[in-house]
């Protein structure tokens, strides 16, 4: 399905109204069913939906690898998973499943990151690499240029051997698509970096940390909680990459 469609608009330009056609981004509801139980509905751009669903359940802590998935079926806005694990036995998600639709502890669980190990990366990364990633992100942002309605995410390996770009109306979704790609293709995260067009909240930070990615770069702002979690989880967090300037919020010693 096309992530973009055309609508008729009236445009004010040079003090004159004119009717024309314009591109807008498509908002698509995707329901996720896990072991025959409805888990959640996401609203997303309708591309790479398999990656989105897999990345989402990975970020939620339901799976650790693609081997935990015995079946995935995608049809008409519904993704059905059969997992090799009983999700009710995962202590972390017990409440959430029981109260699906009621919302107990949804956010707290995601913000916590207390089950994660600290990232111990010792590789040094040159500053030019940061600017290069952000440039590539923007060069590839076609849907954004057409609609202004999406966020982007890019995964790059330090050695240049990998460059995965995804777009979505939700900044969380764009990152979950990258994570879904990594899970599906069993990409090792040790020497990779993720760059996002969006702001970095605690949830985004934990998503990236959970997948083991040591370097998170944003053109935009982080929150206080994201900075605190980056400190605790060993993630180098960089924000406000603009022109020849950026801010490093944690583990600055990795950037040379």
Active site residues: 102
Q: Minimum distance between the CB of residue 13 and a copy of itself, rounded to whole angstroms?
A: 5
Secondary structure of residue 93 in the 3-state scheme? helix
102 touches a copy of itself by CB under 8 A: yes
> Does position 97 bind a copy of itself by CB under 8 A?
yes
Q: Binding segment for a copy of itself among 117-125, 159-167, 177-185, 219-227 (CB under 8 A)? A: 219-227
Lay out the site mask for a copy of itself across 120-159 (x = CB under 8 A, - = otherwise): -------x-------------------xxx----------
What is the greatest pairwise CA distance in the chain? 63
Would you call 76 helix, strand, or coil by DSSP? coil
Q: For residue 210, state whether it binds a copy of itself (rule: CB under 8 A).
A: no
User: Under rule CB under 8 A, which residues in 17-56 are in contact with a copy of itself?
Assistant: 17, 22, 24-27, 29, 37-44
Helix (H) or strand (E) holding 80: strand 78-83
Torsion of CA 226, 232, 234, 235, to 10 degrees: 0
Scan residues 229-248 and list those touching a copy of itself (CB under 8 A). Answer: 240, 244-248
Count other C-beta atoms under 10 Å from residue 37's C-beta: 12
Of the chain, the end-to-end C-alpha distance in Å amounts to: 43
Treating both helix axes as pointing N-terminal to C-terminal, what angle do 202-210 and 171-184 enclose, rounded to 10 degrees? Answer: 0
CB of 155 to a copy of itself, least distance (A): 20
Residue closer to a copy of itself by CB (options 141, 223) is 223
Helix (H, G, I), strand (E, B) or coil at 221: coil
Cα→Cα distances 35→17, 72, 99, 199, Å: 53, 10, 16, 33
CB 117 → a copy of itself: shortest distance, Å? 23
Return the number of the residue (64 or 127) whose C-beta is nearest a copy of itself: 127
CB of 177 to a copy of itself, least distance (A): 13
70 binds a copy of itself (CB under 8 A): no
């Amino acid at each position: 399905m096309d992530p973009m469609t055309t609508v008729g608009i009236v445009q004010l330009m040079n003090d004159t109204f004119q009717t024309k056609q314009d591109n807008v981004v498509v908002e698509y509801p995707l329901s996720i069913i896990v072991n025959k139980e409805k888990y959640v509905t996401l609203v997303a751009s309708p591309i790479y939906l398999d990656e989105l669903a897999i990345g989402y359940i990975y970020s939620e802590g339901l799976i650790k690898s693609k081997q935990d998935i015995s079946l995935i079926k995608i049809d008409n806005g519904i993704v059905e998973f059969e997992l090799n694990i009983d999700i009710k036995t995962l202590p972390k998600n017990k409440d959430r499943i029981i109260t699906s639709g009621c919302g107990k502890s949804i956010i707290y669980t995601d913000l916590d990151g207390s089950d994660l190990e600290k990232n111990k990366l010792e590789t040094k990364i040159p500053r030019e690499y940061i600017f290069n990633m952000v440039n590539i992100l923007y060069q590839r942002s076609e849907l954004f240029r057409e609609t202004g309605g999406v966020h982007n995410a890019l995964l790059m390996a330090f050695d240049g051997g990998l460059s995965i770009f995804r777009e979505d109306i939700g900044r969380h979704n764009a990152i979950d698509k990258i994570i879904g790609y990594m899970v599906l293709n069993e990409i090792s995260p040790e020497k990779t970096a993720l760059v996002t067009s969006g702001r970095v909240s605690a949830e985004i930070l934990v998503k990236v940390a959970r997948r083991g990615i040591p370097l998170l770069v944003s053109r935009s702002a982080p929150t206080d909680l994201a900075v605190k979690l980056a400190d605790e989880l060993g993630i180098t967090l960089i924000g406000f990459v603009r022109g020849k300037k950026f801010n490093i919020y944690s583990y600055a010693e990795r950037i040379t």
